[in-house]
Amino acid sequence: MSLMLAPIRAGSAPYAAMVMDARTGEVLHSRNADTRLHPASLTKMMTLYIAFQAVQRGEISLDTPVTISRLAASEPPSKLGLRQGQTIRLRFLLRAAAVKSANDASTAIAEAISGSEEAFATRMNRTARAMGMRNTTFRNAHGLTQSGHLSTARDMSILGRHVIYDFPQYYNLFSRRSADAGIATVRHTNRRWLDAYEGGDGIKTGYTRAAGFNLVASAQRGQERIIATVFGGSSTAARNARITELMDMGFNRAPSRATIRRPNPPIAMLSSNSSNSGGAIPGGKIVRVSGLVATSMRPIARPLPQAPEPEALVAAVDTDSIDAVLASAVDAAVAEALGASPPVETTVVATATPAVTPTTRPAETVVAAVAPPPPPAVNTEPEVVTRISTSGGRHWGVNVGRYNTRYDAERVLLRVALNEMSSLDGALRRVVQRSGGFDANFMGLTREGADLACRRLQARGTTCFMIGSDS
């Protein structure tokens, strides 16, 4: 059954659209999908994606305080209303950028992660290329019109799919009708469509005069998930009507059952001296993928002690002096055993004499007699041992994603366990049902073990984050 779209009303901005089966990445409909156009605030999907990535890699935390620069505070609306010199936690900036599409919050995120908006835009472009977004160039973190800041309906659909599958733990941020942004409560820019369309749960709106009314939207019904993208709508109402038509087309054309083929997360090479065409991420946390040692320096041998001169071997101590030394040693040992003060130390002076063969010591000679120690006392009281909980306790785990069904979560857990047996040895596979799906967790690890397992899984391209606590 084919679904005919209503004719497009001519607007001031060119029109482009794409419909994609999010489960497989299959394109179900496209029109001008590779035409480079102004993305407007659809840009913030990439800004937020990199922020999620930076939090996951430990470059920054959700509670890191961010000081607002003059540039961020001066961004035009839509904005949160940040002031220069103000300090606000990163989590509030993420909410403001995702829900309200705040430009000042987006610039503050970029500066907090990369030091400047220019450096952040470089990271955005590297990440876009790693995702396969072939026709996108970012110049800023918010999407306000700037020369050369362009993207396509296809590339934004690809980005939206990565946001959904690479960071399911944060995806709910895009469907919140309102959110606490620290200094204000912000409301979603597309809550009307989210409330009106069954299964609608995101993702991002965008508008500038040059771009028109843009939207990347996603909805899930049962096992089916569709992503639809529109560039160049003539109004909010027209854009939402077009997205609704595209979504209906997608659900009509998509198979009811399909094997989920998650996109491969972009692999970024973390290096401080790579060129712009490479894969470096300024300020990124370096993750060593291989522990193999390329070269090993051989240790330098210690110098041998010099042999004594032959003349030094001729010196000897006469027999009388030897007897005096032995007597002194015996007296000292006996005194020490009895708890008395040791005798005054006797100094023996060695004189150089011809070598003399010493007399043989008698077999029955006793040098010192010490009373045997008393037997240890027997403690009749029961011994109480208290175990102190530390970070080494096996109270930690790792999450490898949230899935639509318990079967999908269990299958992923089995596959990951087989691929990473050394790191997850002894871990328990556990599926936990949440409101948004089924979490696939490995539990029963130490903190160090969970951290190591997560790093190895991320190096293999598997999304992972630590869960649990020291308690």
The domain tally of the chain equals 2
pLDDT at position 426: 78
Catalytic residue, chosen from 78, 79, 100, 101, is: 101
Q: Which residue in 184, 170, 7, 4 sits closest to 78, CA to CA?
A: 184
The DSSP string of 358-375 is: PPPPPTT------PPPPP
In a domain, 68, yes or no: yes
Q: Which of 253, 271, 288 is the last residue of a domain?
A: 253
Q: Which residue in 150, 170, 27, 4 sits closest to 90, CA to CA?
A: 170
In a domain, 305, yes or no: no
Catalytic residue, chosen from 41, 106, 114, 423, is: 41
Residue 79 annotated among the catalytic residues of the structure: no
Over residues 341-382, the pLDDT tens digits come to 444 444 444 444 455 565 665 555 554 455 555 665 555 455
Q: Which of 253, 284, 310 is the last residue of a domain?
A: 253
Calpha distance 132→19 (Å, rounded): 17
In a domain, 301, yes or no: no
Q: Which of 253, 280, 315 is the last residue of a domain?
A: 253
CATH number of the domain at 418, please: 3.30.70.1070
pLDDT at position 302: 58
Residue 73 has pLDDT above 80, yes or no: yes
Residue 391 has pLDDT above 70, yes or no: no
Residue in the structure block whose two tokens are 């001008």: 32
CATH number of the domain at 171, please: 3.40.710.10
In a domain, 317, yes or no: no
Residue 41 annotated among the catalytic residues of the structure: yes
pLDDT classification of 386: cutoffs 50, 70, 90: very low
* HSE-CB for 456 with a 13 A CA cutoff: 16
Residue 471 has pLDDT above 80, yes or no: no
Q: 230: which 2 tokens?
A: 């529109």
In percent, the amount of the chain with pLDDT more than 90 equals: 53
In a domain, 197, yes or no: yes
In a domain, 45, yes or no: yes
pLDDT at position 350: 44
Residue 44 annotated among the catalytic residues of the structure: yes
In a domain, 303, yes or no: no
Measured CA distances, 58 to 278, 280, 286, 356, 419 (Å): 22, 16, 10, 76, 24
In a domain, 404, yes or no: yes
- Asked if 416 contacts 449 with a C-beta cutoff of 8 angstroms, the reply is no
Measured CA distances, 142 to 38, 42, 235, 249, 455 (Å): 12, 8, 20, 31, 31
Residue 325 has pLDDT above 70, yes or no: no
- The stretch 337-344 carries a mean pLDDT of 48
Residue 68 has pLDDT above 70, yes or no: yes
**Domain containing residue 434:** 396-468
